[in-house]
Amino acid sequence: MHVLIVLAHPERNSFNGGLVDVAVTQLMEAGHSVEVNDLYSDQFDPVECVQHYSHHDVDADYFYPLNQQRDHYQQGTLPQDVQRELERLERVDLVIFQFPLWWHAQPAILKGWFDRVLVYGGRYSSRMRYDRGYFRGKMAMLSVTAGSPEKAFQPFGRAGNMAQWLWPIHSSLYYVGFDVLAPQVNYGIQGGGIRYQEEAAMLRHLEACKETWVSRLMSIGSEQPIPFTGWNDWDSEGVLRQTSPMRWRLA
């Protein structure tokens, strides 16, 4: 497989950066090719705005991002950084997004990567999405660290519900057609000042997280994706059909 790891962390020597390093080593040992896309070191600009579009009619008094993305995609004039990211995605069998949970979501640089790179008219449209999405046949997964301990993420716990926090990202990846693998979540990764544990216990915890990650990566290519509803499950208004197998799963 060809694996792309998209890293969204401002410090390359962070634990998140370390998870990238062990993933690269393990995946290459297993015979895969790996590319790392470090958004901060590339200074990826996450802000979708008119300045990215060289051919935008500057006299126009309304900037409509969807139209700009579609038109520039069709004319082959997308911003260079977006074009580069799209070329990277063409090569992949699996994309891993590595990031810390910040305010119950991905860091802004990664949110902006979705805003700018998943181009309307090129990578999705009303007819090309979900199980008819552009990237179908390719896999994606999230590798996330969170500061709060795992127990605090239990239902109605202090840290909230991890499945809910990750749902918008999973849903977006599925929207553009990816098979989404279950996330790899490392809890209790306290970064800088906040400490729930003494130092030695913390270091043991970090090492254990790396080992779990490495052993999961050994067979990552054969994992089954998270089940999502698809076009056959919805009626013309997008409502889940009574006959959908997913309805029985949720019941």
Ligand X SMILES: Cc1cc2nc3c(=O)[nH]c(=O)nc-3n(C[C@H](O)[C@H](O)[C@H](O)COP(=O)(O)O)c2cc1C
Sign of CA dihedral 128, 130, 132, 138: positive
- C-alpha closest to that of 96 among 223, 202, 206: 223
* Count of residues touching ligand X (by CB under 6 A): 16
Among 103, 224, 250, 251, binds ligand X (CB under 6 A): 103
In contact, 181 and 225? CB cutoff 8 Å: yes
Host H or E run for residue 6: strand 2-7
- Name the segment binding ligand X (CB under 6 A); options: 99-107, 197-205, 228-236, 239-247: 99-107
- Nearer to ligand X (CB atom), residue 82 or residue 189: 189
Among 8, 16, 27, 166, binds ligand X (CB under 6 A): 16
Which amino acid belongs to residue 161?
Answer: N
Among 44, 72, 95, 100, binds ligand X (CB under 6 A): 100
Distance CA 204, CA 200 (A): 6
> In sequence order, what are the residues at sequence separation of 6 or more whose Cβ sits closer than 8 angstroms to the Cβ of residue 154?
none
- Nearer to ligand X (CB atom), residue 40 or residue 120: 40
Encoded one letter per residue, x for contact with ligand X by CB under 6 A and - for no contact, window 147-176 reads xx----------x-----------------
Which residue is it, tokens 């790996």? 34
- Name the segment binding ligand X (CB under 6 A); options: 39-47, 58-66, 115-123, 146-154: 146-154
Which amino acid belongs to residue 124?
Answer: Y
- Asked if 98 is part of the footprint of ligand X (rule: CB under 6 A), the reply reads no
- Asked if 68 is part of the footprint of ligand X (rule: CB under 6 A), the reply reads no
- Asked if 102 is part of the footprint of ligand X (rule: CB under 6 A), the reply reads yes
- Computed over its alpha carbons, how large is the radius of gyration of the chain? 20
* Contact residues: ligand X, CB under 6 A: 9, 14-16, 100-104, 145-148, 159, 189, 191
